[in-house]
Amino acid sequence: MSLHIGDIAPDFTVGTQNGEISLHEWAGDSWVFFFSHPADFTPVCTTEMGRTAQLASEFDKRNVKPLGLSTDTAEEHAKWIEDVNETQNTNLVFPIVADADLKIAKLYDMIHPDQSETAAVRSVFIIDPDKKIRLTMTYPMSVGRNFDEILRAIDALQFSDKHGVATPADWREGKEAIIPPSVSDEDAKSRFPQGFTTLRPYLRTVKID
């Protein structure tokens, strides 16, 4: 199944090491960082799970709930988490989907045959409170994710939603944003009374505090 930005994230009910969850109900009014892993007790996955746990306060202040997935059982997840906590010096508490039958991995197109027929690649789905998929990323099994970029992308999505703007390359909070071309100069003057800079008719930047 091919999922696109703007699609409603498919709902599912599944076991985790914390008990059964239904995605939409569990997410509630929060954003979701849904990310898959090839397998428990593997080196890159251990560092990624640990990094997610270390960033718990960063996700929390953005109203984001992390949700992992690995193609192993809930019992194996629980044992693996002991290793994650010990080797990464953290305390992992977010749920990890138990997907030993690959049902959820296939639903979200996380199985890429050139990488593996039985293990998920490193997929990322950022899902908003309306349960819409807002961003996707896919990494091969050999490359760990950049969590600075994941947080930056979430910040950009939330900032754009709040202010009705776009964000330029390498945008971070405090930097100028872009006024979308669909907004006329007249509307821009009303929406951004602080003023904006016109570099080209299609490229207008604005500082939003």
Instruction: Give the active site residues.
Output: 45
Residue 9 near residue 124 (C-beta atoms within 8 A)? no
Instruction: Label each residue of 176-189 as H, E or C.
Output: CEEECCCCCHHHHH
Q: How many CB atoms lie within 10 A of CB 167?
A: 20
Dihedral sign for Cα 134, 44, 26, 12, please.
positive
DSSP-derived pairing of the beta strands 31-37 and 64-70 = parallel
Task: Give CA–CA dist 204/197, Å, rounded.
Answer: 5
Residue 63 near residue 113 (C-beta atoms within 8 A)? no
